[in-house]
Each structure stands twice: as structure tokens, then as C-alpha cells.
Structure 1
Amino acid sequence: MADMDVTRFGHAAVLVEAAGSRTLIDPGAFSLPATFALTDLDAVVVTHQHADHVDRDRIGDLVAANPRARLLAEPETAAELDGFEPTGAGASFEVGGVTLTGVGSRHAEILPSLPRVGNVGVLVTADGEPTLFHPGDTYEYRPSGVDVLALPLSAPWAKVSETVEFLRAVAPRTAFPIHDCTISEIAYAIYWTHVESHGGVDDLQRLAQDGSLAH
């Protein structure tokens, strides 16, 4: 397989470079400032409407700096963002040599009293390259054939037993953490050690907020 370059830009924001295309997923409020200075993007994908996945105050500047980028978002979110097309479960979009495919439809339950908003994760695939899965905010959907998993590590809707079970069910060759700005550095190992010890994946990459990997 060819290399796929993956770079974190804080919390759930991930830049995926594969088959000559650059796809940015979930540029949210917890993302690094450098996220919103990125250029030469071929696609911007937003999995759902929560602020830690889409920063409405800054995404306009990002879009303006990337006029040729395809803009894709979960349907409820797309309806509220200028220029974004709705995604959906099984919907595929060709962006250069990459295919972006929607996975799932709804956010994980936070509280029974709160309505569940839409959430569409994304598979990034290209001929001869690994397949990456970014689920957004849910463990409900487990596509097959995932090589690289962006693993949500901590959230109001998650507990560590669910994190581990999700990782084992998807069974990627490589996984790295996302959605971890809710964990202090001093407590990070409480979560990550359980993933390492019980997740059943040998190649776990604890990427920093600005870390990267080639796979």
C-alpha cells in the first residue's frame, strides 16, 4: 500500500492526505489555530453540528481560503452552513483520487432527555492506499475494512468500556486518538492505558494534538 499521511490539528480535526488529495475533517472550536490557515484543501468534511466539530466563527475564512474545496456536512449541519452539500449513510463523493463515503446517521446519546442530532462519519478511501474512518461522535456504526481508525477517546456520551469495545469491533490495523481535549494531560493515561491493554490493536499511535503519521 502507498502512504497515507494523517495530521491532527487538535481534538477532532484531522487532515488526511492520500492519492494527491487533501481532506480536512471537523475543524471545530477546540482545533489548533493552524487549522484555519490551511490552504490547497480538496475537501472539508463536517460530521455534525456541535461546536467542537465545526467552528462557525472561523470556518468562513477557511472556506474562503480554499475556493476549490468540496464542502460536505451531515444534512442538518449542511442546511446551516453556506456552500456545504449534505452527506448521508452510504453516500459517496469523488474528490480527486479519493472517495469520501458517509457512515451512520445520528450522534451518540448524551442524555435521554436530549434529542440526538445527526452525525455522519466518513470513510476516506483510495486505490492502493489504506482506508481511514473518522466516526464523528458515535460508536454505533462499525464499517468493515478499516485500516486506520480515528478513535474518539473521551466525551460526555462515552465511557472507556465502550471505547474499547468499539475499537475491538472495528479492528483496524492502526488507531490514533481524537476527541481528547476533554482530558487533562495528567489524567490521559487513565484512558489510553485501557485502550492499549484491552483494545486488541498492536499499532496504536498516541498522536499529540499536532502529531502526524504515515501509513
Structure 2
Amino acid sequence: MQITHFGHSCVLIETSGQRVLVDPGDFSTSWHDVIDLDAVLVTHQHADHADPVWLPKLLDANPDAVVAVEQTVPEIVELPTRTLRLGPDERIDLGGLHVETIGGQHAVIHRDYPRIGNVGFVFRAEGEASVLHPGDSLDATAEGIDIALIPAFGPWAATKETIEFARATAAPQGFLIHDGLLNERGWNLVAKHVQALSDTKLIDVRDTRPWQV
């Protein structure tokens, strides 16, 4: 397995002969020219996870890729007719890679904002590490996760919740995502607390070089 963090919440997972891009949003640009994708997945409709300008261009450049998104994303972003709309507790099979959806709702930003949909993705393939990408939710996890992608910071999160998510996931390894609003000191502070108060070993993958698992 190989994982590349393209910034913020955008991640390329390469495993079991599949290349899957998750959450290509407008907080990062290094994913714009990615080709030869087998699937593009989106956890929810916010632009930092589904760039309304560049995501359609990416899909035009990857016409054979499976497109599967949380069910309200097509209301915000212009997507091709082949797009699959996902709710929680569904499964997509991409060759030997199986993707399950969990959760269903975005974390609370403020009680005066209505909550929107959010599905986390669990990736499993025989003989490979399992991976959890939660999108913008800290209240849903899955059993037997080997690699957790842990949201570091957002207007809907506190560090204590990030730590509890890492503890609940109980993955031996992981790395921080949703870090586009953090400077170097902020990133190091969150990483320090997660390392100190959970059993997950954090890998620094911010340089967009592929991480071999």
C-alpha cells in the first residue's frame, strides 16, 4: 500500500491494484493533475473537500474513474451522470479493494447551523492495511483499523475531541488531515497531544511524498 497526502483532507490511496483519490478540495492544489485514477470519493459537500471548480476538471481527465460521493454533493458540484450517491452503511467494490461508508452526519459547527451529510470511508483489502478517512466527523469509527487519518483542526473540532477520536479508532499508525488552517506550530501542538494521549503513532506526510505502508 502507498498513501500520498496532497494537503488538507485530500489523500491518494494506492492498494490492491487501485488508485483512489479522496476529498479533492480547494485547500490544496497538488492533486489537480492526478491521472490514471480508478475512483474518486468525496465525504461531503464543503468546498475544502469537493472543489467546485477543479473537481469537474479532474473527473474529465479521469473519464473511467468511479465517482462516489456523499449523496448531497451533486447539489453543490457539477458531477458526471455516472456519479454514485452514498449514504452510511454502504459498500463499493473496486477490484480487490472494498470501501465501506460509516457515519452519516458532519460534525456540529454551531447549533444554529443545520447539520449536513458526511460519510467516512473504510478501506479494506486482503493482505493490506485497513484505512479510515472520516471526512469531517469524529463520532464514527470502525473495528480493526490499521491506519487512521485524523482530522487535526476545524471550526467544528477541539483538540480534546481529536484525541478521543484517535483513542476510539485505536489504530497503531496514522497521520493528521484537515490541517489546512494550521501553521507549523499549531500542527506540532496537535500532533504532540495526539501522540502523548493515544496509542497511535503519527507519521508526518506533509511533503506529499508517497508513504509506503
TM above 0.5, one fold? yes
Task: Map residues 12-161 of structure 1 onto 2, 5 A cutoff.
Answer: 12-31=9-28, 33-80=29-76, 81-83=78-80, 84-161=83-160
What per-residue deviation string (whole Å, max 9, x for no partner) do you get for residues 70-90 of structure 1? 000001113444222111212
Task: Answer whether contact 1:149 1:174 (CA < 8 A) is retained.
Answer: yes
Structure with greater proportional strand content: 2
Distance in structure 1 (CA, Å) of the matches to 2:199 and 2:209: 23
Amino acid at match of 1:163: T
Aligned residue identity for 1:199? S
TM-score normalised over the length of structure 2: 0.95
Pair 1:12–1:44, CA change in 2 (3 A)? same
Q: CA deviation at 1:34?
A: 2.8
Residues 1:9 and 2:9 aligned together: no
CA-atom RMSD in angstroms = 1.2
Taking the aligned partners of 2:72 and 2:162, their CA distance within structure 1 comes to 26
Alpha-carbon distance between aligned partners in 2 of 1:187 and 1:133, rounded to the nearest angstrom: 23
| TM-score where L is the length of structure 1 | 0.94
SS of the equivalent of 1:9 reads strand
Number of residues of Structure 1 aligned to a counterpart in Structure 2: 210
CA distance in 1, matches of 2:171, 2:185: 27
Instruction: Flag structure 2 segments of 5+ consecutive residues without an equivalent.
Output: none
CA 1:23–1:66: 2 relative to 1, 3 Å: same
Partner of 1:204: 202
